[in-house]
Protein backbone atom coordinates (compact mmCIF):
# COMPACT_ATOMS: atom_id res chain seq x y z
CA UNK A 1 0.00 0.00 0.00
CA UNK A 2 1.08 3.56 -0.72
CA UNK A 3 -0.47 6.28 1.41
CA UNK A 4 -0.22 10.00 1.98
CA UNK A 5 -0.11 11.35 5.53
CA UNK A 6 -1.22 14.80 6.62
CA UNK A 7 0.36 15.07 10.07
CA UNK A 8 0.15 17.79 12.71
CA UNK A 9 3.62 19.07 13.60
CA UNK A 10 4.24 21.31 16.60
CA UNK A 11 7.68 22.01 18.02
CA UNK A 12 6.54 22.80 21.56
CA UNK A 13 3.59 24.06 23.61
CA UNK A 14 4.19 27.67 22.51
CA UNK A 15 4.42 26.88 18.79
CA UNK A 16 1.34 27.52 16.65
CA UNK A 17 1.76 24.21 14.83
CA UNK A 18 1.00 23.27 11.23
CA UNK A 19 0.19 20.30 9.02
CA UNK A 20 2.95 18.62 7.01
CA UNK A 21 2.66 15.97 4.30
CA UNK A 22 4.54 12.68 4.16
CA UNK A 23 4.43 9.55 2.04
CA UNK A 24 4.06 6.07 3.47
CA UNK A 25 5.30 3.68 0.78
CA UNK A 26 5.16 -0.11 0.52
CA UNK A 27 3.11 -0.45 3.69
CA UNK A 28 1.90 -3.94 4.56
CA UNK A 29 -1.86 -4.19 5.26
CA UNK A 30 -0.96 -6.31 8.30
CA UNK A 31 1.02 -3.51 9.95
CA UNK A 32 -0.48 -1.67 12.90
CA UNK A 33 -0.93 2.08 12.58
CA UNK A 34 2.04 2.73 14.87
CA UNK A 35 4.24 0.32 12.93
CA UNK A 36 3.38 2.31 9.81
CA UNK A 37 4.46 5.50 11.59
CA UNK A 38 7.69 3.78 12.63
CA UNK A 39 8.44 3.02 8.96
CA UNK A 40 7.68 6.63 7.96
CA UNK A 41 9.90 7.93 10.78
CA UNK A 42 12.80 5.77 9.62
CA UNK A 43 12.60 7.49 6.25
CA UNK A 44 12.32 10.95 7.83
CA UNK A 45 15.37 10.31 10.04
CA UNK A 46 17.41 8.95 7.13
CA UNK A 47 16.71 12.23 5.32
CA UNK A 48 18.13 14.12 8.29
CA UNK A 49 14.81 15.53 9.54
CA UNK A 50 13.01 15.33 12.87
CA UNK A 51 10.82 12.24 13.31
CA UNK A 52 7.12 12.57 14.00
CA UNK A 53 6.75 12.51 17.79
CA UNK A 54 4.02 10.27 19.19
CA UNK A 55 3.42 8.33 22.40
CA UNK A 56 3.40 4.55 22.69
CA UNK A 57 4.21 1.94 25.28
CA UNK A 58 2.54 -1.47 25.42
CA UNK A 59 1.21 -1.46 21.84
CA UNK A 60 -1.37 -4.00 23.02
CA UNK A 61 -4.33 -1.71 23.72
CA UNK A 62 -3.69 -1.63 27.47
CA UNK A 63 -1.72 1.51 28.35
CA UNK A 64 -3.74 4.12 26.44
CA UNK A 65 -0.74 6.26 25.50
CA UNK A 66 -1.17 5.97 21.71
CA UNK A 67 -3.52 8.93 21.70
CA UNK A 68 -4.11 10.44 18.27
CA UNK A 69 -7.02 11.54 16.14
CA UNK A 70 -7.07 9.68 12.82
CA UNK A 71 -9.24 11.09 10.05
CA UNK A 72 -11.19 13.10 12.60
CA UNK A 73 -11.90 10.23 14.99
CA UNK A 74 -9.94 9.38 18.16
CA UNK A 75 -8.03 6.10 17.67
CA UNK A 76 -9.31 5.83 14.11
CA UNK A 77 -12.92 4.82 14.65
CA UNK A 78 -12.71 1.02 14.78
CA UNK A 79 -14.97 -0.21 17.59
CA UNK A 80 -13.14 -1.12 20.80
CA UNK A 81 -9.74 -0.40 19.26
CA UNK A 82 -6.80 1.80 20.22
CA UNK A 83 -4.50 3.37 17.63
CA UNK A 84 -1.86 0.69 18.25
CA UNK A 85 -4.43 -2.03 17.47
CA UNK A 86 -5.65 -0.33 14.28
CA UNK A 87 -4.36 -2.17 11.21
CA UNK A 88 -3.58 -0.67 7.84
CA UNK A 89 -5.97 -3.07 6.09
CA UNK A 90 -8.74 -0.71 7.20
CA UNK A 91 -7.40 1.86 4.74
CA UNK A 92 -7.23 1.80 0.95
CA UNK A 93 -4.23 2.15 -1.31
CA UNK A 94 -3.78 5.81 -2.20
CA UNK A 95 -5.70 7.16 0.80
CA UNK A 96 -4.72 10.41 2.49
CA UNK A 97 -4.77 9.97 6.26
CA UNK A 98 -5.05 13.00 8.56
CA UNK A 99 -3.34 12.55 11.94
CA UNK A 100 -3.75 15.03 14.81
CA UNK A 101 -3.26 15.14 18.59
CA UNK A 102 -6.11 15.28 21.11
CA UNK A 103 -7.70 18.76 20.96
CA UNK A 104 -8.59 19.99 24.47
CA UNK A 105 -7.52 22.90 26.65
CA UNK A 106 -6.86 20.49 29.51
CA UNK A 107 -4.58 18.42 27.21
CA UNK A 108 -1.97 20.94 25.98
CA UNK A 109 0.21 19.72 23.12
CA UNK A 110 3.81 18.97 24.10
CA UNK A 111 5.05 18.21 20.62
CA UNK A 112 3.50 16.91 17.39
CA UNK A 113 1.04 14.18 18.46
CA UNK A 114 2.03 14.12 22.15
CA UNK A 115 -0.25 15.85 24.65
CA UNK A 116 0.09 16.47 28.38
CA UNK A 117 -2.51 14.31 30.15
CA UNK A 118 -1.27 15.00 33.66
CA UNK A 119 -4.72 16.53 34.37
CA UNK A 120 -6.01 12.93 34.46
CA UNK A 121 -3.28 12.05 36.96
CA UNK A 122 -4.32 14.90 39.23
CA UNK A 123 -7.95 13.77 39.09
CA UNK A 124 -6.85 10.27 40.05
CA UNK A 125 -4.72 11.54 42.92
CA UNK A 126 -7.62 13.57 44.27
CA UNK A 127 -9.73 10.51 45.04
CA UNK A 128 -9.05 7.49 42.86
CA UNK A 129 -7.63 5.37 45.65
CA UNK A 130 -8.58 3.55 48.85
CA UNK A 131 -6.84 3.89 52.21
CA UNK A 132 -8.32 0.72 53.72
CA UNK A 133 -5.61 -1.63 54.90
CA UNK A 134 -5.90 -4.69 52.67
CA UNK A 135 -3.01 -6.75 54.04
CA UNK A 136 -2.24 -9.99 52.25
CA UNK A 137 -4.42 -11.37 49.50
CA UNK A 138 -7.72 -12.41 51.14
CA UNK A 139 -9.64 -15.55 50.33
CA UNK A 140 -11.85 -14.98 47.30
CA UNK A 141 -15.01 -15.59 49.34
CA UNK A 142 -13.97 -13.65 52.46
CA UNK A 143 -15.76 -10.47 51.38
CA UNK A 144 -19.00 -11.23 49.55
CA UNK A 145 -19.70 -8.96 46.58
CA UNK A 146 -22.93 -9.13 44.62
CA UNK A 147 -22.26 -10.43 41.10
CA UNK A 148 -24.03 -7.45 39.54
CA UNK A 149 -21.74 -5.08 41.43
CA UNK A 150 -18.58 -7.03 40.66
CA UNK A 151 -19.46 -7.19 36.96
CA UNK A 152 -20.16 -3.45 36.83
CA UNK A 153 -16.97 -2.68 38.76
CA UNK A 154 -14.95 -4.72 36.28
CA UNK A 155 -16.62 -2.94 33.35
CA UNK A 156 -15.68 0.44 34.83
CA UNK A 157 -12.16 -0.68 35.77
CA UNK A 158 -11.39 -1.38 32.11
CA UNK A 159 -10.91 2.37 31.51
CA UNK A 160 -7.28 2.94 30.46
CA UNK A 161 -7.39 6.72 30.80
CA UNK A 162 -6.43 7.37 27.18
CA UNK A 163 -8.55 10.52 26.86
CA UNK A 164 -10.40 9.55 23.68
CA UNK A 165 -13.64 10.52 25.42
CA UNK A 166 -12.32 14.06 25.91
CA UNK A 167 -11.06 14.30 22.33
CA UNK A 168 -14.42 13.20 20.91
CA UNK A 169 -16.59 15.46 23.07
CA UNK A 170 -17.55 18.84 21.60
CA UNK A 171 -17.15 20.29 25.11
CA UNK A 172 -13.94 18.35 25.90
CA UNK A 173 -15.67 16.76 28.87
CA UNK A 174 -13.88 14.16 31.01
CA UNK A 175 -17.10 12.84 32.53
CA UNK A 176 -16.77 9.30 31.13
CA UNK A 177 -13.24 8.92 32.50
CA UNK A 178 -14.15 10.30 35.94
CA UNK A 179 -17.40 8.31 36.00
CA UNK A 180 -15.51 5.07 35.36
CA UNK A 181 -13.06 5.76 38.19
CA UNK A 182 -15.71 6.89 40.69
CA UNK A 183 -18.07 4.01 39.82
CA UNK A 184 -15.38 1.33 39.97
CA UNK A 185 -14.52 2.02 43.60
CA UNK A 186 -18.03 2.91 44.75
CA UNK A 187 -19.22 -0.56 43.74
CA UNK A 188 -16.62 -2.42 45.82
CA UNK A 189 -16.63 -2.90 49.63
CA UNK A 190 -13.10 -1.49 49.93
CA UNK A 191 -14.22 1.78 48.39
CA UNK A 192 -17.08 2.52 50.78
CA UNK A 193 -15.29 4.48 53.58
CA UNK A 194 -14.22 7.26 51.17
CA UNK A 195 -17.15 6.96 48.78
CA UNK A 196 -18.61 10.43 49.35
CA UNK A 197 -15.29 12.26 49.64
CA UNK A 198 -14.08 10.56 46.47
CA UNK A 199 -17.04 11.66 44.36
CA UNK A 200 -16.77 15.26 45.52
CA UNK A 201 -12.99 15.45 45.18
CA UNK A 202 -12.73 13.90 41.71
CA UNK A 203 -15.58 15.92 40.20
CA UNK A 204 -14.26 19.15 41.71
CA UNK A 205 -10.75 18.42 40.44
CA UNK A 206 -12.15 17.68 36.98
CA UNK A 207 -13.78 21.11 36.95
CA UNK A 208 -10.58 22.79 38.16
CA UNK A 209 -8.64 21.23 35.29
CA UNK A 210 -10.83 23.02 32.76
CA UNK A 211 -12.73 20.13 31.22
CA UNK A 212 -16.12 21.03 29.76
CA UNK A 213 -19.61 19.94 30.75
CA UNK A 214 -21.23 16.74 29.57
CA UNK A 215 -23.99 17.11 26.98
CA UNK A 216 -24.78 13.36 26.96
CA UNK A 217 -24.59 13.02 23.18
CA UNK A 218 -22.72 9.72 23.47
CA UNK A 219 -19.66 10.54 21.37
CA UNK A 220 -17.42 9.52 24.29
CA UNK A 221 -18.93 6.05 24.50
CA UNK A 222 -18.73 5.63 20.72
CA UNK A 223 -14.94 6.14 20.57
CA UNK A 224 -13.93 4.57 23.90
CA UNK A 225 -11.52 1.71 23.10
CA UNK A 226 -12.78 -0.19 26.15
CA UNK A 227 -16.44 0.58 25.38
CA UNK A 228 -17.16 2.16 28.76
CA UNK A 229 -20.92 2.68 28.99
CA UNK A 230 -22.54 6.09 29.18
CA UNK A 231 -24.56 4.63 32.07
CA UNK A 232 -21.58 5.22 34.35
CA UNK A 233 -22.02 8.98 33.94
CA UNK A 234 -25.54 8.67 35.35
CA UNK A 235 -24.15 6.57 38.19
CA UNK A 236 -21.49 9.19 38.96
CA UNK A 237 -24.10 11.95 38.97
CA UNK A 238 -26.03 9.99 41.58
CA UNK A 239 -22.84 9.46 43.60
CA UNK A 240 -22.06 13.18 43.44
CA UNK A 241 -25.61 14.20 44.43
CA UNK A 242 -25.56 11.72 47.30
CA UNK A 243 -22.23 13.10 48.51
CA UNK A 244 -23.53 16.68 48.39
CA UNK A 245 -26.58 15.72 50.46
CA UNK A 246 -24.42 13.91 53.00
CA UNK A 247 -22.10 16.91 53.21
CA UNK A 248 -25.02 19.28 53.71
CA UNK A 249 -26.42 17.13 56.52
CA UNK A 250 -23.14 16.85 58.38
Helix/strand/coil (H, E, C) string of the chain? CCEEEEEEECCCCCCCCEEEEEEECCCCCCCEHHHHHHHHHHHHHHCCCCCCCCCCCCCCCCCCCCCCEECCEECCCCCCCCHHHCEHHHCCCCCEEEEECCCCCCCCEEECCEECCHHHHHHHHHHCCCCCCCCCCCCCCCCCCCHHHHHHHHHHHCCCCCCHHHHHCCCCCCHHHHHHHHHHHHCCHHHCCCHHHHHHHHHHHHHHCCCCCCCCCCHHHHHCCCCCCCHHHHHHHHHHHHHHHHHHHC
Name the pTM for this structure.
0.93
pLDDT of the chain, 250 residues: tens digit per residue:
999 999 999 999 999 999 999 999 999 999 999 999 999 999 999 999 999 999 999 999 999 999 999 999 999 999 999 999 999 999 999 999 999 999 999 999 999 999 999 999 999 999 998 887 766 776 767 788 899 999 999 999 999 999 999 999 999 999 999 999 999 999 998 899 999 999 999 999 999 999 999 999 999 999 999 999 999 999 999 999 999 998 877 6
At 250 the pLDDT is: 61
Domains of the chain with bracketed CATH: 3-110 (3.10.20.30), 117-249 (1.10.1060.10)
161 contacts 120 by C-beta, under 8 angstroms: yes
For the chain, how many residues are written? 250
**Beta strand pairing call for 96-100 and 3-9:** parallel
At 130 the pLDDT is: 87
Burial 177-207 (b: 16+ CB within 10 A, else e): bbbbbbbbbbbbeebeebbbebbbbbbebbe
Query: Going by C-beta distance under 8 Å and a sequence separation of 6 or more, which residues neighbour residue 208?
Result: none
Amino acid sequence: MNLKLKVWRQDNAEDDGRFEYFEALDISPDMSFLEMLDVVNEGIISDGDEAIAFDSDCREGICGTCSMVINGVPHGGQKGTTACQLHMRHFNDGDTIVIEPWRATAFPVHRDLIVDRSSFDRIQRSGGFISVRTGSVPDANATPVAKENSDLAMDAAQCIGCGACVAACKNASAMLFVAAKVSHLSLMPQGQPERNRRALAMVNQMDEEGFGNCSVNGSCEAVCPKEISLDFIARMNREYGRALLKKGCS
